[in-house]
Amino acid sequence: MSRSFSRRQALIITGATTLLSTTALTPLAFAQAAGDPVRKIVLITDTQGAAPQAYQAGQLIAQAWKQLGLDVEARPMARQAQTDLVWFNRDKWDTTMWRMVGRPERSDPDEMTFNLFHSSTAPRGFNFVGYNSPEYDKVAEQQRQTVDPAARQNLIKQAQQIVSRDAPYAFLVHPNTLQAFNQNVFDPASIVVQKGVGIRNFWTFIGATPKGTQKAMIINSGTALQAIHPLYIAGAPDSWMNELIWDRLVRIGPDGLPRPWAAESFKFVDDKTVDVVIRGDMTFHDGKPVTIDDVIFSFEAPLTTDKSPMFKPFVTDIDRIEKTGERAMRIHLKRINAAFATTALGRVFIVPKHVWEPHLKSVEGKPDTLESIRDPMNVGSGPFRQVRARLNEEVVIERHAGHWAAPKVDRVVLRVIPNAEAVVGMVRSGEINLLSEYGGDPDVLEKLSKDNPAIKLTQVTDVGIEFMAFNNRRPPFDDPVFRSALSAAIDRNVLIQAAWNGYAVESVTHVSPAIAFWHSTDVKAPATGIALAKSILEKAGYKVEGGRLRYPPGKKETLQPPG
């Protein structure tokens, strides 16, 4: 047994002991009769093999909540099944470990601010927890309509304060993302470290320059892909492939700012009018040219129908689009949107109208959406085209030679390897030459880098977040006091040491400190402790009786645990 593994075991034991301290056993005392006992809570976690850090964090959180008198089942679930339940069956789960991965377009706080918590995205969009606050909605809308950076910054910080107060999530950590690449395979000067994202980014994928005969970039994912799909936002590895197969009008540069991509130019004529001219040298992977009609269709499909709910929030501020030339269009906005270049022009994929218009017609008058469509060819115009996609095993994309920014590598091979130890072995042997994600013991990876100078290790604080999602639709999680108590029971420092082995920073809001201008330092880390959590519940009228937490007097339990 390695020293580092023993250290992690010790940290886990220490963490559990801290969370299960004798202070936690202090009974709650009440004079009045209690309501019904709170039913069993099902906490969905990742599987240990796929995401050991999140799995361990979920186990520790479940142990802490039991000390409040709750019956808690920590239920590991594969990512695909977890997504199907949480995303598509929104009223049938209690609470789940979840993550919003670091993506370049999230360097602007709008997506995290608007899409995660605005009530309009609750039925089918990113607000899957069902948070509903008119006060918050107003601020989220105002920040979009505020052009002055300082004034918008103030609104973004207000949004963070409201979310901190209402606790729709229990924010946990912003991971310190560990990645690595083989300096014998790739010129280190061609590997881009993007703030909040790391080396696994678009600019590395297209710019990584082989030093020798190895022309393939071989990367890894700990979880299977759910869908390679331009209108479906799934997990991290899916997004890596999507952004390489399909182009966008705008890309987010390594500096976090939007820059023209498939758009030759974009210009704000005024606060609510945007002129776009697309490049004239673009072709889809099936050989057909990319036209302005394809671009307009790509934006209008989510705008004018309800068949692309995941992308609807990105275009909701568009009033109409008019074609103004063979390669030009004018976008008229309903209102000012300060983040439009990043969160709309830099978010919507350009899809071939000749492929997706028939798909759109096929779901008209049906409950299905375009998200349910699986196109086996996945025709895009991006710098790579799909060759093979076995989502549970391996995805291969190859260089699109006709692209104006054709990559330096011949292909990217993504291998699904759930076991972190196996991943380290494959990096050591050269079977993986760019470690795109790692969920194992960081000490092991650091040792590998020290023992093998060819392996260059990188680390960044993620713009994404790991959090405990509460289903705000379902009692008892519809009570913000109950949510706050459960959040208070979680010692983030224990999680950072025991689950993330020190490679994370505490999360207090949905805006990462990796984007310091927008992150609110006024929102302080919440006080934690089992005794504090019990005090919050006690003041709200909850009572422990017979070892079980009961609702305030007169309140009835209305639900059964999820099946």
Is the distance from CB of 28 to CB of 543 less than 8 angstroms?
Answer: yes
Number of H helices, E strands in the chain: 18, 20
Q: What is the pTM of this model?
A: 0.79
Is the predicted pLDDT of residue 454 greater than 80, yes or no?
yes
Sequence letter at residue 214: Q
| Mean pLDDT for the stretch of residues 212-233 | 94
At 13 the pLDDT is: 44
Least confident of 26-35, 63-72, 143-152, 474-483: 26-35
CA distance 514 to 477: 30
Task: Look at residues 252, 263, 243 and name the one whose alpha carbon lies nearest to residue 105.
Answer: 252
How far CA 241 is from CA of 65, 305, 378, 423, in Å, comes to 38, 26, 11, 20
How far CA 503 is from CA of 178, 207, 240, 520, in Å, comes to 8, 28, 23, 22
Helix (H) or strand (E) holding 511: none
Please report which confidence band the pLDDT of residue 1 belongs to, taking 50, 70 and 90 as the band edges: very low
At 79 the pLDDT is: 85
Query: What tokens were used for 126?
Result: 């990113």
Instruction: For residue 212, count CB atoms less than 10 angstroms from its CB and return exposed for 0-12, middle for 13-18, buried for 19 or more.
Output: exposed
Cβ atoms within 10 Å of 329's Cβ, excluding its own: 21
At 49 the pLDDT is: 80
Is the distance from CB of 319 to CB of 334 less than 8 angstroms?
Answer: yes
Question: Please, which residues have CB within 8 angstroms of residue 322's CB and are 6 or more apart in sequence?
Answer: 329, 330, 332
398-431 confidence digits (pLDDT tens): 999 999 999 999 999 999 998 888 999 999 999 9
Is the distance from CB of 488 to CB of 494 less than 8 angstroms?
Answer: no
| Mean pLDDT for the stretch of residues 246-254 | 95
Cβ atoms within 10 Å of 340's Cβ, excluding its own: 26
The string of DSSP codes covering 11-44 is HHHHHHHHHT-GGGGPPP--SSPP-PBPPPEEEE
Domains of the chain: 3-174+463-550 (3.10.105), 181-235+379-458 (3.40.190.10), 250-360 (3.90.76.10)
Please report which confidence band the pLDDT of residue 161 belongs to, taking 50, 70 and 90 as the band edges: very high
| Mean pLDDT for the stretch of residues 376-389 | 96
Compute and round to an integer the Cα radius of gyration of the chain.
24
At 33 the pLDDT is: 66
Question: Please, which residues have CB within 8 angstroms of residue 229's CB and are 6 or more apart in sequence?
Answer: 238, 242, 371, 373, 374, 375, 378
Is the predicted pLDDT of residue 4 greater than 70, yes or no?
no
At 24 the pLDDT is: 37
The string of DSSP codes covering 58-95 is HHHHHHHHHTTT--EEEEE--HHHHHHHHHH-TTS--E
At 563 the pLDDT is: 83
Least confident of 1-15, 157-171, 421-435, 481-495: 1-15
At 154 the pLDDT is: 98
Is the predicted pLDDT of residue 310 greater than 50, yes or no?
yes
| Mean pLDDT for the stretch of residues 70-75 | 97
Is the predicted pLDDT of residue 93 greater than 70, yes or no?
yes
Is the predicted pLDDT of residue 540 greater than 90, yes or no?
yes
At 443 the pLDDT is: 87
3-state secondary structure 169-206: EEEEEEEEEEEEEECCCECHHHCCCECCCECCCHHHHH
Query: What tokens were used for 35?
Result: 């309501």
CA distance 427 to 394: 16
At 17 the pLDDT is: 46
Is the predicted pLDDT of residue 116 greater than 80, yes or no?
yes
Contacts 24+ apart (CB under 8 A), 210-214: 210/185, 210/186, 210/408, 210/409, 211/184, 211/185, 211/186, 211/187, 212/184, 212/185, 214/185, 214/433
Q: Fill in the DSSP letter of residue 527.
A: P
Is the distance from CB of 105 to CB of 250 less than 8 angstroms?
Answer: no
CA distance 28 to 6: 37
| Mean pLDDT for the stretch of residues 26-46 | 75
CA distance 218 to 357: 34
Is the distance from CB of 529 to CB of 42 less than 8 angstroms?
Answer: no
Is the predicted pLDDT of residue 5 greater than 70, yes or no?
no
| Mean pLDDT for the stretch of residues 10-37 | 50
Please report which confidence band the pLDDT of residue 204 belongs to, taking 50, 70 and 90 as the band edges: very high
At 442 the pLDDT is: 86
| Mean pLDDT for the stretch of residues 253-263 | 92
Question: Please, which residues have CB within 8 angstroms of residue 259's CB and are 6 or more apart in sequence?
Answer: 250, 251, 252, 253
At 21 the pLDDT is: 41
At 29 the pLDDT is: 39
Longest dimension (CA), the chain: 78
The fraction of the chain above a pLDDT of 90, given in percent, is 83
Is the predicted pLDDT of residue 32 greater than 90, yes or no?
no
